[in-house]
Amino acid sequence: MAKAKEINAKIKSVKNTRKITKAMEMVAASKMRRAQERMAASRPYAEKIREVLAHVSQAHPEYEHPFLQVRTIRRVGFLLISSDRGLCGALNVNVLRILVNRLHELQEQGVETRVAVIGSKGVGFLRRHGAHLTAELTGLGDRPNLGDMIGPIRIMTDAFRNGEIDALHLISSRFVNTMLQRATMEQVLPVAKPEKKTVTANQRWDYIYEPEARPVLDKLLQRYVESIIYQAVIEHLACEQSARMVAMKNASDNAKRLVGELQLAYNKARQAAITQEIAEISAGAAAV
Amino acid sequence: MAMTIAVRVVSAEGSIFEGEAEMVVAPGQMGELGILPRHAPLLTGLRPGELRIKNGNEIEYLFVNGGMLEIQPDCVTVLADSVERAMDIDEAKAKAARDAAEARLANRTDDLDYAAAQAELLEQVARLRTLQRLREQGILR
């Protein structure tokens, strides 16, 4: 009967684990819905500012903003967005893999790199591997606001302005659907010029700037970079919650299957013990 | 049929207005701007104030709290830091916030605090002025 007892204890422990993963799955599901709503709400702004910038890049201003200038690449900056908590499947591993591969490639080419990280999972991993981080930000929570993110964004944009880096890439997860998140790398600075013309006028034209070109373009481009990064963080949160939901659902399903298998083993062990007992009794009776 | 221009008003929290208008009046950094269709391309910052979008007899009153304004001959894009419908302004809250900002300005401690309080005061005053104008025109109560 000892074996059956052991199995029973195991069943209980798996059932308890399943309760936890099931609860986490449901929490993630409800958080995911809210995160997706926020993502959808912040999208129009990002789209419109992209459109405005596409117009600006087709104008012929007398002043060329540094964010639009393409320079020879000597140093590259990266901004990585990861989550603060684990148990969300391969989400963080995927973004980190892109970064690490890219860092190796650049090292072979003799290009220096600077890395800034949002999210404690990314910070932890890169620290363990001895990377030097220019900026890091953790503990944003479920409802981040732009004000909290200004710090690292400023550090990277200022580095670009001062010529410490010649390009800035953003590595983050894109939300495809609940089951699928894709890790991507996108160039933020210098601002890439769109290929398709959205303004029909062919002749040279420029904006009227009020009060002047420089402060207005400065403000617009800083906003643009902030909005791209804010959007990426919001999208990452939606990714994190749905990845966690899927991971926890898999864990719950596995636990359920395991309980089934263990239950079968328990029944067999119990039956074997009873059979043996009967055999022993009847053998004892026969001997008398 | 009067000529119209496409207007989009968005903030980081979402899109608040998207449609056609005969005329748009916006609080530009250098003063109020009246925008009609076929306006020359223009780019400017916004200060806190009232944004009016006129189409026929309908006028949409919005309150924008800073941001950017882009004008193309056929469309106007307002990238607001935050925006609300003028009808939704909470007067009591705005007044309380204005008084709090005034109090902070009166006994300031350091200059960083000063700038923030001043911006807050400007915002609340602009918000209350918007509300007052609507009252005077008899649109609100």
Query: Looking at the structure, do residues B78 and B113 belong to the same domain, yes or no?
Result: no
The pLDDT tens digits along chain A (288 residues) read: 568 889 999 999 999 999 999 999 999 999 999 999 989 888 889 888 988 888 887 777 777 788 888 888 888 999 999 999 888 888 999 999 999 999 999 989 988 888 999 999 989 998 888 778 888 888 888 888 777 888 888 889 899 988 888 999 999 998 888 888 899 898 888 887 766 555 555 566 788 888 888 888 888 888 899 888 989 999 999 999 999 999 999 999 999 999 999 999 999 999 999 999 999 999 999 887
pLDDT for the residue numbered B89:
80
B70 and B120 in a single domain? The answer is no
Same domain, B80 and B106: no
Q: B40: domain CATH number?
A: 2.60.15.10
CB distance B13–A49 less than 8 Å?
A: no
pLDDT score recorded for residue B109 = 67
Q: Tokens at residue B128, please? A: 């209350």
Closest CA to B83 of B117, B109, B48: B48
Overall number of domains in chain B: 2
Q: Give the model's pLDDT for residue A94.
A: 92
**Nearest CA-CA partner of A201 in B74, B125, B11, B137:** B74
Segment B51-78, tens digit of pLDDT? 999 988 888 889 998 889 999 888 999 9
Contacts of B44 in chain A (CB under 8 A): 209-211, 216
The answer on pLDDT for B120 being more than 90 is no
- HEC-encoded secondary structure of chain B: CCCCEEEEEEECCEEEEEEEECEEEEEECCEEEEECCCCCCEEEEECCEEEEEEECCEEEEEEECCEEEEEECCEEEEEECCEEEHHHCCHHHHHHHHHHHHHHHHCCCCHHHHHHHHHHHHHHHHHHHHHHHHHHCCCCC
Same domain membership, residue B81 and residue B13: yes
Chain A positions touching B12 (Cβ under 8 A) are 42, 45, 146, 227, 230
Closest CA to A181 of A259, A98, A240: A240
CATH number at residue B119: 1.20.5
Longest distance between any two alpha carbons in chain A, whole Å: 116
Please check the confidence at residue B88 and state whether its pLDDT lies above 60. Answer: yes
Nearest to B86 by CA among B63, B59, B109, B66: B63
The answer to whether residue B115 is domain-embedded is yes
Nearest-Å Rg of the Cα atoms of chain B is: 16
Every domain of chain A and the residues it spans: 62-196+204-241
**B7 to chain A nearest CA, in Å?**
11
Q: Which of B29, B78, B79 to mutate to test the interface with A (most CBs of A within 10 A)?
A: B79
Interface contacts (A, B; CB < 8 Å): 68
State yes or no: cis peptide before A211, omega within 30 of 0.
Answer: yes
State whether residue B82 sits within 8 Å of chain A by CB.
Answer: no
Q: Which domain holds residue B117?
A: 89-136
Residues B82 and B111 in one domain: no
Q: Is residue B15 located within the same domain as residue B68? A: yes
Its pTM stands at 0.83
Interchain CB distance below 8 Å, A209 and B12: no
Query: Do A45 and B10 count as a contact with CB atoms less than 8 A apart?
Result: yes
Please indicate, yes or no, whether residues B121 and B53 belong to a single structural domain of this protein.
no
Can you identify the CATH homologous superfamily of domain A62-196+204-241? ATP synthase, F1 complex, gamma subunit (3.40.1380.10)
pLDDT tens string A86-138: 888 889 999 999 999 999 999 899 888 889 999 999 899 988 887 788 888 88
**Minimum mean pLDDT among A38-47, A269-278, B26-35, B125-134: which range?**
B125-134
Residues B56 and B97 in one domain: no
Q: Under a CB-based contact definition with an 8 Å cutoff, are residues A236 and A173 in contact? A: yes
Same structural domain for residues B12 and B79? yes
CA distance B10 to chain A (A): 5
Of B86, B101, B128, the domain-final residue: B86
Sort out which chain B residues have CB atoms less than 8 A from A211's CB and list them: 29-30, 44
The verdict on B26 and B81 lying in the same domain is yes
- Enter the tokens of residue A179: 């089951």
**Contact across the interface for A219 and B68, Cβ inside 8 Å:** yes
In a domain, B10, yes or no: yes
Say whether both B74 and B96 belong to one domain. no
| Domain presence at residue B141 | no
In terms of domains, do B120 and B80 share one?
no
